[in-house]
Structure 1
Amino acid sequence: MMFFSSTFFVLLLFAILGLISKNMTLSISVVCLFFLSFIYPNLIFPWVEKYALKAGILILTIAVLAPIASGKINARDIFNSFTHWQSILGILIGVFVSWLGGRGVSLMSHQPSVVTGLLVGTILGVAFFKGVPVGPLIAAGLLSLALGKF
């Protein structure tokens, strides 16, 4: 159990950062981790570490596709996105960022030593700059470019 361990205090610090910065996503995430730590942490945390990122990407993808499924964005809108320079730029940036995220996943799995720095940077970005926690993948992708790896 992590109660009153260094892990507990680090998570508590992140929760406080979330509250100070009014970032409820960060605070709620920490509270969820606190609760999970009391329910068979040796079983739950390995599962969370292995599958939560994939589940999060799945949920994010569902959210992105929901306007198409609901009819708010139709086939004509999608076709028209190829006719305006702003939309084409958006498509190109989307492709680039997706590619970066893929590089980031690869780097994080092959060089776990960089994960800690990326996570701390992401937490700080979420807490102080109203960021969202997709940062580690993109940051790892950028880092892989800087390091010339993967």
Structure 2
Amino acid sequence: MQSGEITMIILLLVGLAARSNLISTCACILLVLQFTKLDFLFPYLETHGLELGLLFLLLSILVPIATNRISNRELLYNFTSLPGILAIIGGALATHLNSEGLKLMQIEPSIIFGLIIGSVIGIFFFNGQPVGPLMAAGVAALFFEVLSWFT
């Protein structure tokens, strides 16, 4: 058994322990692809997986608008109210952090294991909600940036 397969099995177990269906499912899918010799799909997943994930995320977010569960009046309120303006600022900051996190993961792919372990710690000890490694990488990139100011 190769180190990548062992790491996927560890991630599967970590995902199960952390009650993170996404981590467990991803580890299982990658193991199945390896064991069935469909690993030629890995480069495609590596280059387009994030885009596919974001596509489905945006689809799920936009369904309430498409089905008229959110009215135009409610949408307008989000542009003119304090909570709405703060949400816009929060969204802009989050996307910037995600961008920095993506850069960090591309430069240092091995950091993903630490991000997942940190997420598990957050779930167990802080009653956190796993939102994915991209945001965790964004926060880590912010920490690295602040640390660079002092070194």
Deviation per CA, 1:5-55: give whole Å up to 9, x if none: 111111111111111122221111111111111344452111111110111
1:137: how far off?
5.1
**CA separation in 1, counterparts of 2:6 and 2:46?**
20
Please list, as runs of the form range in 1=range in 2, the aligned pairs for 1:75-86 lying within 5 A after superposition.
Answer: 75-86=72-83
Compute the TM-score of the two structures, normalised by the length of structure 1: 0.79
Question: Which of these residues, 117, 120, 140, is aligned with residue 127 of structure 1?
Answer: 120
Unpaired stretches in structure 2, ≥5 consecutive residues: 124-128
Give SS of 2:80's match: coil
Task: Tell me: CA distance 1:61–1:141, structure 2 relative to 1, closer, same or farther (3 Å).
Answer: farther
User: Which sits farther off after the overlay, 54-63 or 32-41?
Assistant: 32-41
Matched, 1:96 2:93: yes
User: What's the counterpart of residue 69 of structure 1?
Assistant: 66
Bigger relative contact order (CA 8 A; separation at least 6): 1
RMSD value over aligned CA atoms? 2.3
Equivalent in 25, 35, 38 of residue 35 of structure 2 = 38
1:70-100 deviation per Cα after TM superposition (whole angstroms, max 9, x unaligned) = 1111211110112332222111101111122
Structure 1 unaligned spans of 5+: none
For the residues of structure 2 that align with 1:121 and 1:67, how far apart are their CA atoms? 35
Tell me which stretches of 4 or more aligned residues in structure 1 moved more than 6 Å.
none
8 A contact 1:101–1:141 mirrored in 2: no
Q: Which amino acid aligns with 2:31?
A: F
Equivalenced residues, count: 141
The structure-2 alpha-carbon separation of the partners of 1:29 and 1:98, relative to structure 1 and needing over 3 Å to count, comes to: same
Query: What is the percentage of aligned positions where both structures have the same residue?
Result: 26
2:14 to 9, 14, 17: 17
Contact preservation (8 Å) 1:122, 1:136: yes
Calculate the TM-score normalised by the size of structure 2.
Answer: 0.79
